[in-house]
């Protein structure tokens, strides 16, 4: 999980750096050739993109550093945390649902992959089997019971308990 995130971030960083170092200077040079820079939309757009890329590169470098320095051993083994998969049952209907707490770069709500910093993710952090949790959605609140928690350690060890 950690290595896949780093690889994804590194790839995005390389693409952004290439654009900043190769494509943007060409765009600025081309725009300058069109004359007056005060009313040159191409020049302004290239400069804005340059500023955006500089900020994005800085953010990507920080995320890579943060993910690289993450000590998975410090993530709890007895309750949910980053990388955990939680199996829940709606207390009213009995309908079962599965969520995995992931890095922001891996969020995929359709697949049940949610950021630990999202409202649902925060509600699920630190939960154990048997805990009840209330998930507040814009139009309703749903009460769930935690049926099972597979921590990142279980998932990394190849625990096959992945289906409901």
Strand 132-136 relative to strand 113-115: parallel, antiparallel, unpaired? unpaired
Q: Which domain holds residue 51?
A: 2-70
pLDDT at 160: 42
Q: What is the pLDDT along the chain (164 residues), one digit of tens a residue?
A: 678 778 888 999 999 999 999 999 999 999 888 877 788 889 999 999 999 999 999 999 998 998 888 887 888 889 999 889 999 999 999 999 999 999 888 899 999 999 988 989 999 999 999 999 999 888 989 999 999 999 988 877 664 444 44
Instruction: Single out the residue in 43, 70, 97 at which a domain terminates.
Output: 70
Among 70, 87, 109, residue at a domain's last position: 70
In a domain, 161, yes or no: no
**Residues 66 and 26 both lie in one domain:** yes
Q: Based on the fold, state whether residues 51 and 30 are members of the same structural domain.
A: yes
pLDDT in the model for residue 97: 95
Domain count within the chain: 2
133 found inside a domain: yes
Residues 146 and 85 in one domain: yes
Tell me: do 117 and 63 sit in the same domain. no
Q: Rounded to 5 degrees, what are φ and ψ at 128? A: -125, 165
Residue 164 covered by a domain: no
148 and 130, same domain (yes or no)? yes
How high is the pLDDT of residue 159? 43
pLDDT at position 158 is 63
Of residues 106, 99, 115, 118, the one with CA closest to residue 162 = 99
Q: Give the integer Cα–Cα distance in Å for 150 and 6.
A: 23
Is the whole model's pTM more than 0.85, yes or no? no
Q: CATH number, domain at 24?
A: 1.10.287.180
User: What's the CA gap between 10 and 3, in Å, rounded?
Assistant: 10
Determine the Cα–Cα distance for residues 22 and 5; give it in Å rounded to an integer: 26
């Amino acid at each position: 999980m950690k290595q896949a995130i780093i690889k994804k971030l590194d790839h995005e960083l390389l693409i952004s750096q290439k654009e900043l170092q190769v494509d943007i200077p060409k765009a600025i040079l081309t725009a300058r050739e069109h004359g007056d820079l005060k009313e040159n939309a191409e020049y302004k757009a290239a400069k804005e993109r340059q500023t955006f890329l500089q900020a994005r590169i800085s953010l990507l470098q920080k995320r890579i550093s943060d993910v690289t320095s993450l000590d998975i051993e410090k993530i709890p083994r007895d309750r949910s945390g980053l990388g955990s998969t939680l199996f829940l049952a709606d207390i009213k209907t009995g309908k079962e649902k599965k969520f995995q707490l992931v890095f922001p770069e891996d969020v995929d709500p359709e697949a049940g992959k949610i950021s630990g910093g999202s409202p649902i993710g925060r509600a699920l952090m630190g939960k154990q089997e048997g805990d009840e949790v209330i998930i507040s959605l814009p139009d309703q609140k749903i009460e769930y019971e935690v049926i099972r928690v597979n921590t990142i350690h279980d998932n990394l060890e190849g625990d096959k308990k992945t289906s409901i």
